[in-house]
Amino acid sequence: MKRVPFRKMLVFVGCAVSLTVFSARTEAAPIILTQADFGPSDHLITFNSLPEGTPVSNQFAGVGVTFAGVLTTYDDQNFLFGGDPMQVLNSTLPFNCGVAGNCQPFTLNFTTPTTRVGFLVATNPGTTTLSIATGSVNFATSTTTTFVGIGDTTPFSSLTVSVTGASNGAAIIDDVRFNQVPEPASLALLGSGLLALAVRRFRRQA
């Protein structure tokens, strides 16, 4: 009679781990996210701790993200971002899109895979494209600040941002939000731990 609860727990743990690992491996297409899809449990990068003119690269590696490309902190003087003291420009300062390498696509690389990323962006009127391994999503952006976000049920480790159709391809971003999810190996380890706990409880009852 005592073995029945153990068997039920064993089946439950096995199914939960299998479904979780299967979900992590299932391919899906990226979707557009809004600011409402993010919450207090997500990481938030404001860039406010960096002086203006600072090249942005690995300052936030401890939080889980690094940046690649020509990116520099920039204070828009309350013009677009409502009093927020610091943003990031995909150019060097002084602003110059005529120099090779400036105002080009840039990349966010995550030390732990994520399933959602979003941030505020202002550009000259054009299209801002967010690209991950499973595809891309497009946003009409302009000098009015817009929230852009991308998500996928398949965790991804890299996001590329590009601006097309605008007069110079410049982008100013701020308030980067993202989550972090366990890798399949970690989920399997969690399942093993739950199974071991179930075995110990069964032995105590026997």
**Per-residue pLDDT tens digits for 15-39:** 444 444 444 445 579 999 999 999 9
- Residue 89 corresponds to which tokens in the numbers above? 């420009």
Q: Judge whether residue 57 has pLDDT over 90.
A: yes
The amino acid that residue 99 corresponds to is: V
User: Regarding predicted confidence, which is higher, 11 or 32?
Assistant: 32
CA–CA gap between residue 68 and residue 138 (Å, rounded):
20
User: Regarding predicted confidence, which is higher, 70 or 17?
Assistant: 70
CA–CA gap between residue 150 and residue 121 (Å, rounded):
13
Q: CATH says 27-182 is which class?
A: mainly beta
User: How many Cβ atoms sit within 10 Å of the Cβ of residue 137?
Assistant: 19
The pTM of the full predicted model, rounded to 2 decimals, is: 0.77
- Residue 137 corresponds to which tokens in the numbers above? 């999503």
Q: Judge whether residue 43 has pLDDT over 80.
A: yes
CB proximity list for 71: less than 8 A, separation 6 or greater: 55, 56, 57, 88, 89, 90, 106
* pLDDT for the residue 170: 92
**Per-residue pLDDT tens digits for 124-175:** 999 999 999 999 999 999 999 999 999 999 999 999 999 999 888 999 999 9
What are the extents of the domains in the chain? 27-182
**Per-residue pLDDT tens digits for 88-123:** 999 998 888 877 778 999 999 999 999 999 999 999
Q: Judge whether residue 14 has pLDDT over 70.
A: no
